[in-house]
Every structure is written in structure tokens, then in C-alpha cells.
Amino acid sequence: MLIDFGDNFWGGVAYAVFVGMLLGVFYFAGLWWTVRRLGSSRVVAPLFLFSMLFRISVVMVSFYVFLGNDWQKLLLGLLGFIILRLFATRLVRLKDNPVIIKPIHTLKEKHSQAEER
């Protein structure tokens, strides 16, 4: 662990959760950027694969470097990462975001249009 809080329990807890949340921001912002670029890219599979490998590698190495080999700190960092994941998924659902694919017509509308013809 890069920062040693000694006997300050709450400082270590806050640090671990904060690091997890920062890594969540990095991971999910990178995922969002990748998904936005897939539509205009000619090389979709390599872009997705390298983005995924890069994001996972950075997050895993950062967890080890910043939180050390203390399983409690790693668990708290994971908790921060999951909290950020929940926040990010709610944010994407609430915003009118072009990443979300919305159906043009529902099945009921298509059925009523077919009957009219």
C-alpha cells in the first residue's frame, strides 16, 4: 500500500473506498468511451478487445499497488468500485443517452399498423 494510515482505521477505510470509486470512474468512463466509438470504427473487435484488456489491467494493477495485499482494504476498494458501478448504470438509464437503444415501434403499434393496411 502506498499510503500507511497506521492506527487510523477510518482513514484507511475512506482511502480504500475512495480508490475503488476512482478506479470505477476510470473503468466505466473507458467503457462508455469505447461503446461510443464502436459505431464509427472500422475495427470493432480489436477496439473492444484492447479497451477491455487495458481497462482490466489498469484496475487490477492499481488495486494491488494502492491497496496492497490486505484483504480488508481490497474488499473495501471493491465496495467503492461496485458503488460507482451502481451509480453509473443509474445515470445512463436516467439520461437521454444515444448509447441506449430504444425501440422505434412497439409490437402492439406494428400490429395495429398492419391491421390498418
The tens digit of pLDDT for each residue in 55-113 reads 999 999 999 888 887 888 899 999 999 999 999 888 877 765 555 555 555 556 655 66
The grid coordinates listed for 63 are 488495486
Residue 48 forms part of a structural domain: yes
Q: Residue 50 domain-assigned? A: yes
Domains identified in the chain, total number: 1
Asked whether residue 114 is domain-assigned, the answer is no
This prediction has a pTM of 0.71
Domain of residue 90 covers 13-95
In-domain check, residue 117: no
Write the pLDDT tens digit of every residue in 14-66: 889 999 999 999 999 999 999 888 888 889 999 999 999 999 999 999 998 88
Residues 88, 91, 96, 100, CA torsion sign = positive
pLDDT at 9: 74
- Residue 54 located in a structural domain: yes
Instruction: Report which of 46, 65, 54, 66 is spatially closest to residue 29, judged by C-alpha positions.
Output: 54
